[in-house]
């Protein structure tokens, strides 16, 4: 027995039908979102970029329309990733491998490249003939033309990716002028190569051999999950239309036309049962429905169904209504968790303040004893203004009796219990703060508090941070 399965090129046939049209729609939407999003503009005023979705690695910010995420708020991104993971579980539990069949990037780009194949080489039979034909001028020209289109799509795909990390119009100009960062060219080169190879040549092999998700999904599917299934009790024994017409009682509905296999993008025969190669794209349903219509039999010989419903139908009962199929307990549990995380994130987003403070005490030396017996500690304090405009912010000392403070940019004589600074828009302003407490002050905890003072939106927002004041041991 060979442990290696020889690769057979799949040449899916063109098909039209409701699922194919749905696939077109999903492809249009997903590719439109991917290629178009970086070009959406969003006015954030003069102090922030105008790109609606931007991962600004240099300044450590993530912008998404009106939302700006700072590094210390990364839990929002983590929450979104967790929601995406649970969302996949939810979709799988409700409608089987719909992600694989419609929205997975590998599926979408493979589908796109298969349309390029049809456009250049023709439909299934023409492509199979061309594959077998010896190399000559016509085959060379077609291959060159087809691979050039692959390359353009791949380059465009890689190019779109880097636009999420910098201002898209500026980066495009710099890219073509040769003055973009080397990492931009390297990223485009890597993504062009992987898209060209995975979408143009590896195709269904990624789903069958490389991707771990089908293995995880098979563990998640049960007899209540929706899958694309062939109804054996209706189709078997199969036989050609001619044979069935001669001997109608002997044959089932399947006329063995192989159309379901011909249109399958992974090249499998769904009549052999559920299998890992089936991405549930439902194109075989379109193909078989068309055949059933042509031979005057009811549609649905291949259909979306749960194994439980298949057994009911085989026993002569009506299948359950769709809402019952979709709403089984595991799906509801996933939906509950997904909704709870989403609601938690929305709540956190709606109630977060755009003013912040971090405090780092100097540890070497922990304190300085002054000639008059007072004690000085120093700290690095960062005042965070997370709004897109400059703001006046007041820093105050809480819980350290008689203490005053000054900074590098003022004289020690001006030390006070509070100080006010203008913090530029969208900036964490670092201050070196010296806190001096009267003779006799002992080591103790205290806090800094920052309060936004301006009258506009966000005034009165405050944040505080606990820290420690070190002093010599009492004699």
Interface contacts to ligand SF4, rule CB under 6 A: 228, 230, 235, 254-260, 263-266, 268, 270-271, 278-284, 287-288, 291, 301-302
Which CB, 264 or 435, lies closer to ligand SF4?
Answer: 264
| CA pair distance 381, 110, nearest whole angstrom | 53
Least Å from the CB of residue 111 to ligand SF4: 11
Minimum distance from CB of 245 to ligand SF4 (Å)?
14
Q: From 114, 192, 202, 185, select the one nearest 156 (Cα to Cα).
A: 192
Min dist CB 238 to ligand SF4, Å, is 6
Q: Is the Cβ of residue 204 or residue 426 nearer to ligand SF4 in the bound state?
A: 204
Between CA 15 and CA 257 the distance in angstroms is 14
Q: How far is the CB of 296 from ligand SF4 (least distance, A)?
A: 13
CA 320 to chain centre: 34
Nearer to ligand SF4, 203 or 224 (CB): 203
End-to-end Cα distance, the chain: 87
Closest contact distance (angstroms) between CB of 132 and ligand SF4 is 23
Rounded to a whole number of angstroms, the minimum distance from the CB of residue 100 to ligand SF4 is 8
CA distance linking residue 281 with residue 21, whole number of Å? 11
Give all strands of the β-sheet with 67-69 in edge-to-edge order: 53-56, 61-64, 67-69
In whole angstroms, how close is the CB of 276 to ligand SF4 at the nearest point? Answer: 10
Give whichever of 163 and 281 is closer to ligand SF4, judged by the CB atom: 281
Residue among 198 and 244 whose Cβ is closer to ligand SF4: 244
- According to DSSP, residue 65 is labeled T
d(CA 324, CA 167): 47
| CA nearest to 96, candidates 209, 229, 212, 203 | 229
Q: Say which residues have a Cβ less than 8 Å from residue 139's Cβ, sequence separation at least 6.
A: 130, 133
Instruction: Name residues whose C-beta falls within 8 Å of residue 406's C-beta, 6 or more positions apart in sequence.
Output: 412, 414, 415, 416, 419, 433, 434, 436
CB of 103 to ligand SF4, least distance (A): 14
The minimum distance between CB 289 and ligand SF4, in angstroms, equals 8
Q: Which of residues 91 and 260 has its CB atom nearest to ligand SF4 in the complex?
A: 260
Q: Taking a C-beta distance cutoff of 8 angstroms, is the pair 429, 382 a contact?
A: yes
Q: Looking at beta carbons only, is 276 or 332 nearer to ligand SF4?
A: 276
Burial class (CB in 10 A: 0-12, 13-18, 19+), 445: exposed
Q: What is d(CA 270, CA 289) in angstroms, rounded to the nearest whole number?
A: 14
* Closer by beta carbon to ligand SF4, 38 or else 96: 96
Question: Is 25 or 81 the residue whose CB approaches ligand SF4 more closely?
Answer: 25
| Best CA proximity match to 236, nearest among 223, 250, 246 | 250
């Amino acid at each position: 027995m060979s442990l290696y399965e020889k690769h057979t090129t799949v040449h899916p046939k063109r098909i039209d039908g409701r699922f194919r049209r749905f696939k077109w729609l999903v492809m249009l939407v997903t590719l439109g979102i991917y290629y178009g999003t970086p070009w959406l503009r969003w006015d954030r005023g003069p102090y922030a970029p105008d790109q609606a979705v931007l991962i600004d690695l240099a300044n450590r910010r993530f912008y998404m329309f009106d939302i700006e995420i700072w590094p210390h708020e990364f839990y929002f991104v983590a929450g979104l990733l967790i929601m995406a993971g649970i969302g996949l579980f939810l979709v799988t539990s409700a409608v089987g491998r719909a992600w694989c069949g419609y929205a997975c990037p590998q599926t979408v780009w493979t589908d796109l490249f298969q349309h390029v194949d049809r456009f250049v080489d023709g439909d299934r039979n023409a492509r199979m003939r061309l594959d077998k034909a010896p190399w000559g001028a016509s085959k060379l020209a077609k291959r060159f033309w087809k691979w050039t289109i692959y390359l353009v799509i791949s380059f465009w795909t890689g190019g779109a990716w880097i636009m999420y990390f910098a201002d898209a119009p500026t980066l495009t100009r710099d890219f073509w002028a040769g003055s973009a960062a080397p990492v931009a060219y390297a990223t485009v080169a890597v993504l062009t190569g992987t898209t060209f190879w995975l979408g143009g040549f590896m195709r269904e092999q990624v789903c069958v051999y490389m991707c771990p998700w089908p293995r995880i999904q098979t563990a998640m599917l049960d007899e209540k999950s929706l899958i694309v299934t062939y109804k054996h009790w209706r189709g078997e024994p199969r036989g050609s239309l001619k044979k069935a017409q001669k001997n109608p009682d002997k044959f089932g509905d399947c006329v063995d036309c192989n159309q379901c296999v011909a249109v399958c993008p992974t090249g499998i025969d769904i009549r052999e049962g559920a299998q890992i190669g089936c991405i549930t794209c439902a194109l075989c349903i379109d193909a078989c429905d068309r055949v059933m219509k042509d031979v005057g039999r009811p549609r649905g010989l291949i259909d979306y169904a749960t194994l439980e419903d298949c057994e009911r139908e085989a026993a002569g009962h009506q299948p359950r209504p769709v809402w019952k199929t979709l709403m089984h307990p595991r799906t509801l549990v996933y939906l509950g968790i997904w909704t709870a995380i989403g609601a938690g994130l929305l709540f956190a987003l709606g109630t977060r303040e755009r003013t912040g403070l971090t405090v780092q005490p100097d540890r070497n030396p922990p304190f300085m004893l002054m000639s008059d017996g007072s004690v000085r500690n120093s700290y690095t304090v960062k005042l965070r203004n997370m709004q897109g405009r400059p703001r006046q912010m007041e820093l105050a000392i809480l819980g350290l009796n008689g203490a005053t403070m000054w900074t590098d940019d003022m004289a020690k004589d001006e030390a006070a219990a509070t100080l006010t600074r203008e913090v530029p828009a969208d900036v964490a302003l670092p201050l070196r703060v010296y806190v001096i407490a009267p003779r006799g002050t002992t080591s103790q905890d205290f806090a800094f508090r920052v309060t936004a003072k301006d009258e506009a939106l966000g005034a009165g927002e405050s944040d505080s941070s606990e820290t420690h004041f070190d002093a010599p041991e009492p004699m």
